Amino acid sequence: MSDHGTRHAPSRDELASIAARPTPPRARTAATAAAGIGLIVFIVSLFVDADRAWRAFHINWLFFAAISSAGVTVAAVQRIATARWSREVVRFIEGFVAFMPVAFVGLVLILTVGRGHIFPWTHVSPVEAEKRFYLDPRFLVTRDLVAYALLTALGLWFVYLSVRLDVGVVAEAGASWARGIRARMRAGFGDERRELHTTHSRQGVIAVFMVLLYGYLWSMMAFDLSMTLDLHFQSTLYGWWWFMTAWLGSLSAFGLLCLWWRKELHLEALVEERHFHDIGKLCFAFTVFWGYLTFGQYLVMWYGNMAEEAHFWRLRLIPPWQVVTTLVIVLVFVLPFFGLLSRAAKVYLPTFVLFTFSSIIGIWLQRYGEVYPSLYHVAAGLPFGVAELGTLLLFLGVWGMCYFAFMDAFPKMRILLQTSPYRDEIQVPVDPRTMEPLPATE
């Protein structure tokens, strides 16, 4: 590992030049092709079996929308902790925010055009009066759209402030479609030290709300968009299990993207072994937490043996669904847990890729296992084929197009926080009027 005290620290101009390098054309082409092929498959699937097409759409929305939201919240946690270790790489996960406005459009489609094909409450009235009130379509659609819109707005605001610090201190560069946005970022950009402290303080407030609302709103949306696919099932732990699964997925995707950008931008001197060690430790920690939440939920339902709870797991432990359930446990917990125990596995890049990729595949299968068994119940065979894979391609391609568009429009790394002579002052809050450190009591 490089020594912090002796390694070459690039100048601002050098770092700006690195951060302005374009995304490899093959990546943008692959994303566009995947989106195009996936869109064709989805449209054809609508004519062949509209129910299955929309259910596949729903699985992938739950996967990509939640991981994107979780990724931006991970960046917010870095701000709350005033983390230094992630300054070189945190922009790679801030870019997840680019998909969130598109995901909002997808949620609108799910809750309007597609809801009759997905949700049982559109054509079956729950027995309990409380559930009938809670699942009233106007109430449910309104609260979920407002919830995701709020998460999107906070995420965009947080990342805008982060990017503005870098755009304000470098020469004009980036995709032409965002030239106007960059111009607005530069307008009124003042003294570097004051901008740094002001932005850092403002982001601190936004970050706290982002983290609190991430947990609360995604719990609510997990109940609405996933748990209520089975009208008879209920679990108070479901929301925690659900949004922490997305959190683990975002960390795994973050690790893979750090590795990819390191190779493509030739960042070996900046993105070091220590970064993969730290991300690997986070992945390991939340793998353990995922296992705890999963087993805790299962154990309570098993020994409680209440009909409204136990049937959820029983269905997923009989053919054909037990294959998916077993794969989820192996891919999300068993492999990453035992694989990432050692430091060597975290910093040896082939094993790092294996275990983070294993988590991502397993989490996608978990979303599949949440949606399909609740809608198809006891099935003769596993409904998995062209419709599911094609819709996955659609979402993967659109996600990639959004992400690469963002990364090409703005600096791909944080520049000011790596090069400013005032960068470490933010570890101590200051009075925004005098720019003097606040007393510890304040």
Express each pLDDT in 372-422 by its tens digit: 999 999 988 999 999 999 999 999 999 999 999 999 999 999 999 999 998
Residue 3 has pLDDT above 70, yes or no: no
Residues 80, 74 contacting (CB under 8 angstroms): no
CA separation for the pair 279, 261 (Å, rounded): 15
> What burial class does residue 220 get, using C-beta atoms within 10 Å of its C-beta: 0-12 exposed, 13-18 middle, 19+ buried?
middle
Q: How confident is the model at residue 154 (pLDDT cuts 50, 70, 90)?
A: very high
Per the structure block, which two tokens stand in for 291?
């296992």
pLDDT tens digits, 221-254: 999 999 999 998 888 889 999 999 999 999 999 9
Residues 100, 265 contacting (CB under 8 angstroms): no
Q: How confident is the model at residue 287 (pLDDT cuts 50, 70, 90)?
A: very high
How big is the chain by its Cα radius of gyration, in Å? 23
CA separation for the pair 202, 305 (Å, rounded): 49
Per-residue pLDDT, 7? 57
* pLDDT cut 90: percent of the chain above it: 82
Which one-letter amino acid corresponds to residue 181?
Answer: I
Q: Name the more confident of 426 and 358.
A: 358
Residues 258, 72 contacting (CB under 8 angstroms): no
CA separation for the pair 132, 127 (Å, rounded): 7
Cα 167 from chain centroid? 24
Per-residue pLDDT, 440? 60
Phi, psi (5° rounding) for residue 237? -85, -10
Coil vs helix vs strand at 430: strand
Per the structure block, which two tokens stand in for 380?
């003769």
Per-residue pLDDT, 303? 86
CA separation for the pair 346, 192 (Å, rounded): 37
Q: What average pLDDT does the structure give for the chain?
A: 93
Taking the alpha carbons at both ends of the chain, their separation in whole angstroms is 39
Average pLDDT over residues 421-426: 86
Entry pTM: 0.94
Residues 365, 309 contacting (CB under 8 angstroms): no
CA separation for the pair 389, 316 (Å, rounded): 21
Which one-letter amino acid corresponds to residue 8?
Answer: H
Average pLDDT over residues 151-171: 97
How many other C-beta atoms can be found within 10 angstroms of the C-beta atom of residue 44?
Answer: 13
Which one-letter amino acid corresponds to residue 359?
Answer: S
Residues 229, 118 contacting (CB under 8 angstroms): yes
Per-residue pLDDT, 6? 46
CA separation for the pair 420, 11 (Å, rounded): 10
Residues 438, 430 contacting (CB under 8 angstroms): yes
DSSP 196-248: HHHHHHHHHHHHHHHHHHHHHHHHHHHHHHTGGGSTT---TTHHHHHHHHHHH
